[in-house]
């Protein structure tokens, strides 16, 4: 085929021109949908055409990530590849969990601090750091539509880790195509078998509690399909018919099939395939605004993890029932600012790469600032300032933890 992803990569020197734009659009769509769910109520979002958004947006994002991860795994050693993933995603996950549990939770819980830290849910929340997602903290957001839920997006990092290992295993094997195909087939078999046996609940019910088993497997499947797309990029069609066909098919399902469609056997997998194909086709197109999209790329992961707690907090503290645009206008800039701040600190102290790795969709090296030969004293001053800032942050966090612990050990006013 002439119009394939490989032909685009050859024309652009190995860069997929629309990857950064596609990822940015999908992340903003995800955050916008969460604003609708948390403000206008879940019924309006689920029983309208928007029901398809979470079932399509996340698999589409994972398909693009799977494609880019396969490219990165092919260009780097296994050690460098894994270290880069940990250095990029690790601080974001750690901050999201710690701030939610140690700062946000104690600030908004309706019970006393002693009851908060002694509740088993508090300790279980930290299981996400070892790959098991937990969404709730005791006594928080009890009057919101999703009571007790602090961060629904915490099911994404374990799924991302599985896609990372799957891509690495395939690209480092002697038969990458067969290994990637076997991994994708295994995920599909697990999903269909578990669904038939009743072990996997339908994602159309309680989305939060079923995300990791139903929507999570669909996202992992889409990410593995993205890796397959990279391995078969010579035969991967990316013309306008693929993109338009995916959009039309998803739109028809949203308007005609209704939310009950996801309860059918294999329906989430079918939606993931359509969304993933469309996202890969969109990633091969050229758009304007490359400067903005490329510089937003390093903070998209953080924005996804930080937005939900901010939206819950806005719904909890806001006057009356807020509208979705107000929630989005508050949460999106704040989440992006927090992600940028964390990214700046981790880059300055050396926890994250100083410059973007040569993944698909990012700016070529000539368009990025040359950080290899900075002025010695200026660079030293920046590192010292960033290190001091990180030290202050750790010290403040430690003081907060100590104060919470001391307060928790004291008796409440009623003597409990």
Contact 73, 171 (CB under 8 A): yes
Contact 351, 74 (CB under 8 A): no
Tell me whether residue 386 is in a domain. Answer: no
CA dihedral 343, 348, 351, 356 (to 10 degrees): 60
The per-residue pLDDT for 363 is 33
List, for the chain, all residue ranges whose pLDDT scores fall below the cut of 70. Answer: 1-2, 40-47, 201-212, 318-322, 348-416
At residue 136, φ and ψ (nearest 5 deg) are -115, 150
Q: How crowded is residue 290: how many other Cβ atoms within 10 Å of its Cβ?
A: 17
Looking at the structure of the chain, the number of domains it has is 1
Q: Which tokens sit at 389? A: 């800032």
Tell me whether residue 341 is in a domain. Answer: yes
The per-residue pLDDT for 376 is 46
Question: Could you tell me the residue range of the domain that residue 273 belongs to?
Answer: 5-369
148: left (phi over 0), alpha (psi -120 to 50) or beta: left
| Angstrom distance (rounded) from CA 49 to CA 59 | 18
Cβ neighbours for 351, distance < 8 A, ≥ 6 positions apart: 87, 91, 345
The per-residue pLDDT for 255 is 87
- Exposure string over 159-176, b if 16+ CB within 10 A, otherwise e: bbbbbbebbbbbbeeeeb
Contact 212, 150 (CB under 8 A): no
Tell me whether residue 42 is in a domain. Answer: yes
Contact 107, 268 (CB under 8 A): no
Among 357, 21, 356, 38, smallest CA distance to 207 is for 38
The per-residue pLDDT for 351 is 62
SS3 content of the chain, % helix, strand, coil (to 5): 75, 0, 25
Q: Which tokens sit at 140? A: 């928080």
The per-residue pLDDT for 331 is 87
The per-residue pLDDT for 97 is 92
Among 302, 391, 304, 335, smallest CA distance to 92 is for 302
Model pTM greater than 0.95? no
Tell me whether residue 101 is in a domain. Answer: yes
Among 299, 285, 233, smallest CA distance to 95 is for 299
| Angstrom distance (rounded) from CA 360 to CA 275 | 19
Tell me the Cα Rg of the chain. 22
Tell me whether residue 327 is in a domain. Answer: yes
Tell me whether residue 384 is in a domain. Answer: no
Tell me whether residue 396 is in a domain. Answer: no
Among 21, 13, 12, smallest CA distance to 294 is for 21
Tell me whether residue 406 is in a domain. Answer: no
Between CA 309 and CA 315, with CA 314 as vertex, the angle to 5 degrees is 100
């Amino acid at each position: 085929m002439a119009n394939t992803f490989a032909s685009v990569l050859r024309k652009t020197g190995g860069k997929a021109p629309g990857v950064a734009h596609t990822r940015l659009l999908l992340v903003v769509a995800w955050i916008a949908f969460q604003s609708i769910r948390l403000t206008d109520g879940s019924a309006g979002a689920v029983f309208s055409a928007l029901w398809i958004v979470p079932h399509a947006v996340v698999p589409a994002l994972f398909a693009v990530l799977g494609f880019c991860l396969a490219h990165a795994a092919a260009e780097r050693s296994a050690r460098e590849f894994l270290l880069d993933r940990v250095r990029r995603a690790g601080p974001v996950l750690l901050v999201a969990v710690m701030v939610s549990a140690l700062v946000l939770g104690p600030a908004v819980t309706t019970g006393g601090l002693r009851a908060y830290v002694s509740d088993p849910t508090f300790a279980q929340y930290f299981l996400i750091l070892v790959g098991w997602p937990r969404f709730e903290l005791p006594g928080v957001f009890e009057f919101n539509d999703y009571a007790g839920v602090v961060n629904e997006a915490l099911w994404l990092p374990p799924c991302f880790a599985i896609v990372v290992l799957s891509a690495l295993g395939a690209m480092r094997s002697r038969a990458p195509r067969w290994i990637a195909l076997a991994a994708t087939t295994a995920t599909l078999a697990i999903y269909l078998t578990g669904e038939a046996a009743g072990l996997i609940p339908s994602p159309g019910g309680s989305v939060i509690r079923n995300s990791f088993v139903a929507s999570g497997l669909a996202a992992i499947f889409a990410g593995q399909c993205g890796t397959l797309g990279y391995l078969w990029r010579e035969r991967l069609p990316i013309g306008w018919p693929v993109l338009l066909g995916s959009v039309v098919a998803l739109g028809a399902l949203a308007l005609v099939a209704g939310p009950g469609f996801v309860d059918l056997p294999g329906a989430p997998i079918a939606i993931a395939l359509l969304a993933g194909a469309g996202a890969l086709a969109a990633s091969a197109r050229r758009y304007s605004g490359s400067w903005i999209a490329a510089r937003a790329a390093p903070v998209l992961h953080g924005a996804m993890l930080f937005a939900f707690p901010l939206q819950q907090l806005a719904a909890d503290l806001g006057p009356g029932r807020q509208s979705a645009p107000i929630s989005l206008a508050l949460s999106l800039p704040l989440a992006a600012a927090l992600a940028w701040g964390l990214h700046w600190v981790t880059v300055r102290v050396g926890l994250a790469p100083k410059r973007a790795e040569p993944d698909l969709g990012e700016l070529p090296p000539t368009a990025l600032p040359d950080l290899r030969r900075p002025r010695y004293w200026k660079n030293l001053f920046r590192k010292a300032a960033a290190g001091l800032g990180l030290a202050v942050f750790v010290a403040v966090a430690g003081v907060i933890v100590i104060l919470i612990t001391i307060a928790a050990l004291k008796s409440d006013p009623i003597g409990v």
